[in-house]
Structure 1
Amino acid sequence: MKILIIGGHGTIGTKVAAHFSQENEVLIAGRTTGDFLVDIKNSSSISKMFEQAGLFDAIICIAGEAKWDNFDDLTEDDFHIGLNSKLMGQVNLVRIGQKFLNPKGSITLSTGILADDPVVMTTSAAMVNGALHSFVQAVALEIENSIRVNVVSSGMVEDAYEKYKNYFPGHNPIPMKKVINGYVRSVNGKGNGEVIRIYN
């Protein structure tokens, strides 16, 4: 299988890419490093990446950002960071990427536990994650060529525990193997329109 991983050099992406590389051809796209460079906030950049990369059997996105801050301190522009990057960036990867997938291919997006269990300072990120869950469920009803679209939603992962533990009091860190298996389920399984939650 030929797989494109956007964000394949990040905390989660590195482990996911290493796993799939064992038995597949994996190419990495990123903002500053990778086999291809892409800014997912820019649909022209997404189109250029796919035109350079060609056809794939699976596309995985583990990229996108949103502003974390107290609600009263978030400006309209702050909200647009998440809307333009994590939300529309991944929506555009589906919208454009479907044309560069072989029939019966798959697209896997990424969100997180904040969609269902938000914590303080995450109004924008929680909003974007929830929107992506609804998007995946809806687009699966319409996308053609037997393409499947799912989203992996993980809790705070082990490899980021020290950095984020103070934001998630009482949350149990998710083993990286469990997170990887969420992406395996999406890519190698038959599910479509699924929100694959890995919260404990």
Structure 2
Amino acid sequence: MRILIIGANGTIGKKLTPHLSKKHEIITAGRNSGDIRVDITSEESITEMYKQIQNIDACICIAASGPLDNFSELTESQLLQDFKGKLFGQVNLVLLGQKYLNDNGTFTLTSGVFADIPYKGVTAGGMISGALHSFVLSASIELPRRQRINVVSPSMIEDSVKEFGHLFPGLKAVSMNELIEAYEKTIEQNISGQILKVY
């Protein structure tokens, strides 16, 4: 398969990309690195990225993350800023990308555990992940040409515990191998509209 990975230089991407490259042709894209540059907060940038790449069988997005927030000071403006990348950016990868993805192609988005498990400081992250789950359910019955869509929803990864573990006491960390298996499943199995929870 010819697979586009957006965010290949991040924590997950650095492990997922070489794993998938053993069996598939990989094209990487990112804001500051990759074969192609893309800013997923920009519809124009996303469209230009797709125009540069032909014959794509799969698009995996593991880019964009939101900062922690302070609920007592949280504003609509801050929420909209957080939504711009991880929510609307991923949604636009699908809405715009459905024209470019091959027949039977597949989209894989990334949400997160906070859609289901609340912690302080991640209100925006929880809202974004929940919205992505609903979007995937709807998109799975709307996409043309037998295209598929799924979302991987990871907990904190063992590789990130040292950096973030103190912020989320008691949150179970998952192995990178478990996470890679979930992404691989969305590519290689004939599933659609699935929320693959790796918690």
Q: Report what 1:144 is aligned to.
A: 144
1:94-144 C-alpha deviation (Å, 9 max, x unpaired): 011111111111000001101100210000110010000000001101111
Q: Tell me if the contact between 1:65 and 1:81 (Cα under 8 Å) persists in the aligned partners.
A: no
Q: Report what 2:192 is aligned to.
A: 192
1:40 match: secondary structure: coil
Distance 2:125 2:81 in 1: 10
Q: Report what 1:110 is aligned to.
A: 110
Q: Report what 1:31 is aligned to.
A: 31
1:11 match: secondary structure: coil
Q: Tell me if the contact between 1:66 and 1:79 (Cα under 8 Å) persists in the aligned partners.
A: no
Q: Tell me if the contact between 1:64 and 1:86 (Cα under 8 Å) persists in the aligned partners.
A: yes
Q: Report what 1:53 is aligned to.
A: 53
- How big is the shift at 1:72? 1.4
Q: Report what 1:14 is aligned to.
A: 14
**What residue identity is the alignment partner of 1:94?**
V
User: Which 5+ residue runs of structure 1 have no aligned equivalent?
Assistant: none
Distance 1:177 1:23 in 2: 17
- How big is the shift at 1:53? 1.4
Distance 1:11 1:81 in 2: 23
Q: Report what 1:163 is aligned to.
A: 163
Q: Report what 2:132 is aligned to.
A: 132
The 5 Å alignment of 1:41-80 reads: 41-80=41-80
- What is the identity percentage for the equivalent residue pairs of Structure 1 and Structure 2? 42
TM-score (norm 1): 0.97
Count of residues in Structure 1 that have an aligned counterpart in Structure 2: 199
- How big is the shift at 1:171? 1.8
- How big is the shift at 1:13? 1.1
**What residue identity is the alignment partner of 1:158?**
E
Q: Report what 1:98 is aligned to.
A: 98
1:4-47 C-alpha deviation (Å, 9 max, x unpaired): 00001100011111110011110110001110000000000000
- How big is the shift at 1:76? 2.2
Q: Tell me if the contact between 1:67 and 1:81 (Cα under 8 Å) persists in the aligned partners.
A: no
2:12 match: secondary structure: helix
1:57 match: secondary structure: strand
Q: Tell me if the contact between 1:4 and 1:27 (Cα under 8 Å) persists in the aligned partners.
A: yes
**What residue identity is the alignment partner of 1:99?**
K
User: Which 5+ residue runs of structure 2 have no aligned equivalent?
Assistant: none
